[in-house]
């Protein structure tokens, strides 16, 4: 039987550049000289002449006359550059941060947030550049305190600040497959965002998938934004699908490092998420409706050949649709309902959902006389007593059920429809 069931089965679930961008430097020194500092958004390197030990205050603000000093006993030229420029107040937490010295080496640099946090970073082997080693937090001012050593060995302190952006909103994202789960070979990796996001490419650039079987050929595909919960709020959904079914017995790690990523429209990534799951044995169901049988293959070997009854195609709306279905849920008992055909609250046992359009594989004692002989169901795959339970116990989320030789085809209105596309067409759904 087929029941009308429109609920979605999907759970409501960066790029580093190393170029310098900043201009800055204001010096508090004994004898003042005027140094012109450009206030543009491009790279600005200011050459300063300072007395050894005198502090260098680095500012990204527009300065037409940044004070410096000069000592007759010591003439030290130190150049400092940062990206983003010190004084910036809208820094993206996921953006790279570098501080570079010229005509000097870096002795040390500490970075602290006004929330009490300490930020890690590394000084390059030539001691010229400090690179941020972690992502920053939102809405936090970070103070940089460092010591430069000029070419004559004199120490010149420098300091500057950066403030990170304060997001309007930080929608969550979640994986469909929980960590520790074992899935079938057709299971897509699904990430669902709490709302629709604008810059899907920025989000996708943070996705990373690895396996213990090496690289897997596959692609992320963004589906149409959808009001999954029926609340009027559309959500963005992205799937990863291999070019072919997953190799059996594969351990998979997926991460989306979304914290600090600008989605656009005032939305920013809330947090990093990850999942670790296992692809189990390769179980594939071949369901040729013209045979009145359902064949189960495990690791490409036939293990079961069940007599079944498919949808009665001669009646509009009752055909079992052709295509690669994916097992999404299982219920020991399930209440079937299809008002179009005047039935509701019909309890059926051992129900394995293979489509969100109401298609299940389940026991139906009433169709026992037709099993293996005639297709009489309302679209579901009916099985006999005992057989249905046996198949139910063998099925995993993500198992493929390949239905063939019917006039109706799966489409984008179905549940997990990833496999209706050729891999070449699926790749076109990527944002990158």
* Angle formed at CA 340 by CA 418 and CA 325, multiple of 5 degrees: 20
Nearest to 183 by CA among 257, 120, 261, 248: 248
Cα separation, 123 vs 108, in Å, equals 8
Cα separation, 194 vs 186, in Å, equals 25
CA 212 to each of CA 185, 208, 232: distance values in angstroms, whole numbers, following the listed order: 15, 14, 41
CB atoms within 10 A of CB 430: 15
Catalytic sites, residue numbers: 362, 380
Helix ranges, 304-401 (H): 387-394
* Angle formed at CA 4 by CA 400 and CA 316, multiple of 5 degrees: 85
> What tokens appear for 45 in the block?
């390197």
Strands (E), 170-266: 173-175, 182-183, 189-193, 207-211, 218-222, 237-242, 250-256, 262-264
> What tokens appear for 208 in the block?
């990373």
Distance spanning both ends of the chain, measured CA to CA: 41
């Amino acid at each position: 039987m087929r029941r009308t069931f429109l609920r979605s089965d999907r759970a409501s679930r960066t790029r580093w550049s190393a170029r310098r961008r900043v201009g800055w430097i204001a010096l508090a020194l004994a004898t003042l000289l005027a140094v012109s500092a450009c206030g543009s958004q491009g790279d600005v390197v200011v050459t300063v002449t300072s007395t050894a030990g005198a502090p260098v205050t680095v500012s990204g603000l527009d300065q037409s006359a940044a004070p410096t000093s000069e000592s007759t006993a010591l003439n030290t030229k130190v150049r400092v550059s940062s990206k983003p420029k010190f004084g910036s107040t809208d820094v993206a937490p996921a953006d790279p941060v570098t501080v570079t010295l010229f005509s000097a080496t870096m002795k040390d640099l500490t970075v602290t947030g006004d929330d009490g946090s300490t930020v890690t970073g590394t000084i390059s082997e030539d001691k010229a550049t400090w690179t941020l080693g972690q992502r920053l937090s939102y809405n936090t001012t970070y103070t940089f305190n460092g010591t430069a050593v000029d070419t004559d060995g004199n120490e010149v302190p420098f300091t500057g600040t950066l403030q990170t952006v304060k997001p309007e909103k930080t929608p969550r994202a979640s994986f469909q497959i929980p960590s520790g789960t074992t899935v079938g070979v057709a299971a897509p990796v699904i990430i669902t965002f709490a709302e629709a996001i604008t810059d899907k490419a920025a989000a996708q650039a943070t996705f990373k998938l690895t396996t213990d079987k090496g690289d897997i050929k596959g692609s992320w595909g963004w589906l149409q934004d959808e009001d999954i919960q029926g609340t009027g709020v559309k959500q963005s959904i992205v799937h990863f699908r291999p070019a072919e079914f997953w190799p059996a017995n594969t351990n998979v790690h997926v991460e989306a490092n979304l914290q600090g990523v600008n989605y656009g429209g005032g939305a920013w990534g809330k947090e990093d998420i990850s999942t670790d799951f296992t692809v189990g044995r390769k179980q594939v169901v071949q369901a040729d409706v013209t045979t009145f049988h359902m064949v189960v293959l495990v690791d490409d070997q036939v293990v079961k050949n069940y007599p079944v009854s498919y949808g009665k195609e001669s009646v509009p709306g009752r055909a079992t649709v052709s295509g690669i279905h994916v097992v999404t849920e299982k219920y020991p008992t399930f209440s079937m309902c299809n008002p179009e055909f005047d039935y509701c609250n019909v309890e059926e046992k051992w129900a394995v959902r293979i489509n969100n359009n109401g298609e299940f594989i389940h026991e139906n004692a009433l169709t026992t006389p037709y099993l293996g002989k005639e297709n009489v169901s309302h679209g579901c795959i009916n099985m006999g007593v005992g057989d249905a339970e046996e198949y139910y116990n063998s099925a995993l989320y993500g198992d493929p059920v390949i239905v063939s030789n019917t006039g109706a085809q799966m489409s984008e209105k179905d549940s997990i429809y990833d496999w209706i596309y050729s891999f070449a067409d699926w790749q076109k759904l990527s944002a990158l």
